[in-house]
């Protein structure tokens, strides 16, 4: 059964999965789209994008009225009103973008849309002026540079190639429309302009690729457990904290907070596995268990190695019933795992599981303490089982 059918609840954090060819080198596949990016990396990238975008949108917001002084000095007569109206509308739109940005924490889709708006709004302003003023627009200081400046600005952000290309293509298209309107699209100057835009866009995409690759490499080093490839404990707790803050915000605004379940795992008698078969087989068991966890939860869930042979899964949007079904599947996954010792004999392993659901207005510590108590209750009950109540 596909994972999406297993649970009906979601936090609305779905991200689109664009076209993703297998023949591309892995490094390009990493930066082409966010298809293979974890939910956690998407959150980290969205915060990175957001902080840069706040800076860029604020700079645009301040430049718009300042540039009006240049207009006043160099303006051909008769265009003051159009420019004043255009600049006022642009400032209002940028103020709205800034307001939305400051309220968009860890929401990649929204941050991406606001980024596209920040880069396209000045261009729409430019296109509207071209429409109103006509060919004499070229004599206004700095206006001809707007499209080039915006395409260059794409390089400032860690965008995937598809995202960067989407924004850049929209800028090129609008510029082609402006040139067509001014009757310059097929002139030497017009073709040169489009060629220049395309070249700068390629450079920006290269900068995007380098940024996302570097960010991903650093992120992997800082956030992952090297043996299992799962998140490490620090990142999981940070993400859990953010989820709890989002829930509290929803509750304080009178909205229903989506459920979040925690599952804590401890492999049973793991010391015996190490002692009987050796540490390398113990490591293999840890890796196999990590892949069972990854297989049984959704991509948007968080799974981490919490300590030596302790693991934790955080299931946003899952009710306790859904969490217990997942726990059952994980127990089954362990029972059917196919691990062999160096001499070929099978290495069976099991896990004990504590399950709890975050309660409204409770601290994270108290939820973690509860799930830990339930895990140890499962140990006392004989292991290879889960406990989801006190």
Ligand X SMILES: Nc1nc2c(ncn2[C@@H]2O[C@H](COP(=O)(O)OP(=O)(O)OP(=O)(O)O)[C@@H](O)[C@H]2O)c(=O)[nH]1
User: Which residues sit at the interface with ligand X, rule CB under 6 A?
Assistant: 227, 266-272, 274, 279, 282-283, 286, 308-309, 379, 383
Judged on CB neighbours under 10 Å (0-12, 13-18, 19+), 114 is buried
Question: C-alpha angle 358/289/294, rounded to 5°?
Answer: 60
- In angstroms, the CA 314 to CA 175 distance is 47
Minimal distance in Å, beta carbon 350 to ligand X?
A: 9
Minimal distance in Å, beta carbon 291 to ligand X?
A: 15
The residue from 175, 193, 288, 309 that is catalytic is 309
Q: Six-digit token pair at 246?
A: 């989002």
Minimal distance in Å, beta carbon 102 to ligand X?
A: 42
Minimal distance in Å, beta carbon 334 to ligand X?
A: 13
Tell me the Ramachandran region of residue 215: left when phi exceeds 0, alpha when psi lies from -120 to 50, beta otherwise. alpha
Q: Is 309 a catalytic residue?
A: yes
Q: CB-based contacts of 302: which residues, under 8 Å, 6+ apart?
A: 39, 40, 231, 236, 239, 240, 313, 314, 316
- In angstroms, the CA 279 to CA 285 distance is 10
The residue among 41 and 265 lying less far from ligand X, judged by its C-beta, is: 265
Cα atoms in the 13 Å half-sphere on the side-chain side of 286: 23
The residue among 7 and 374 lying less far from ligand X, judged by its C-beta, is: 374
Minimal distance in Å, beta carbon 280 to ligand X?
A: 7
The residue among 108 and 304 lying less far from ligand X, judged by its C-beta, is: 304
**N- to C-terminal Cα distance for the chain?**
31
The residue among 29 and 269 lying less far from ligand X, judged by its C-beta, is: 269
CB 94 within 8 A of CB 145: no
Minimal distance in Å, beta carbon 230 to ligand X?
A: 12
From residue 332, how far is each of 296, 300, 325 by CA, in Å? Answer: 11, 22, 11
- Three-class DSSP category at 153: helix
DSSP character string of 169-192:
HHHHHHHHHHHHHTT-TTSHHHHH
Judged on CB neighbours under 10 Å (0-12, 13-18, 19+), 119 is buried
Would you name the residues annotated as active-site residues?
309
């Amino acid at each position: 059964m596909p994972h999406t059918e297993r649970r009906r609840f979601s936090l609305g954090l779905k991200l689109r999965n664009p076209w993703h060819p297998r023949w591309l080198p892995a490094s390009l596949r990493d930066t082409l789209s966010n298809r293979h990016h974890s939910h956690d990396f998407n959150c980290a990238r969205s915060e990175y994008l957001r902080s840069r975008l706040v800076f860029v949108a604020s700079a645009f917001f301040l430049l718009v009225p300042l540039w009006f002084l240049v207009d006043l000095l160099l303006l051909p007569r008769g265009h003051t009103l159009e420019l004043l109206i255009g600049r006022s509308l642009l400032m209002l739109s940028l103020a709205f973008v800034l307001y939305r940005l400051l309220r968009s924490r860890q929401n990649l889709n929204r941050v991406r849309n606001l980024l596209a708006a920040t880069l396209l709004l000045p261009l729409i302003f430019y296109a509207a002026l071209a429409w109103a003023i006509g060919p004499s627009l070229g004599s206004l200081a700095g206006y001809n540079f707007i499209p080039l400046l915006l395409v260059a600005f794409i390089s400032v952000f860690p965008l995937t190639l598809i995202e960067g290309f989407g924004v850049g293509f929209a800028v090129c298209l609008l510029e082609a429309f402006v040139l067509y309107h001014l009757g310059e699209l097929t002139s030497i100057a017009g073709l040169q302009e489009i060629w220049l835009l395309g070249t700068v866009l390629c450079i920006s995409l290269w900068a995007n690729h380098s940024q996302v690759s570097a960010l991903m490499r650093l992120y992997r080093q800082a956030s992952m457990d090297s043996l299992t490839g799962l998140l490490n404990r620090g990142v999981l707790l940070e993400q859990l904290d953010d989820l709890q803050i989002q829930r509290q915000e929803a509750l304080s605004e009178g909205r229903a907070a989506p459920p979040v379940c925690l599952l804590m795992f401890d492999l049973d008698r793991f010391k015996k596995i190490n002692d009987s078969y050796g540490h390398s087989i113990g490591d293999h068991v840890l890796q196999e268990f990590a892949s069972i966890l990854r297989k049984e939860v959704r991509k948007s869930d968080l799974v981490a190695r919490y300590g030596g042979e302790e693991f934790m899964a955080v299931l946003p949007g899952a009710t306790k019933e859904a969490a217990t079904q997942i726990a059952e599947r994980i127990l089954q996954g362990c029972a059917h795992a196919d691990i062999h010792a160096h001499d070929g004999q099978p290495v069976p392993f099991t896990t004990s599981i504590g399950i709890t659901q975050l309660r409204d207005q409770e601290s994270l510590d108290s939820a973690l303490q509860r799930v830990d108590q339930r895990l140890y209750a499962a140990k006392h009950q004989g292991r290879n089982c889960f406990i989801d109540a006190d």
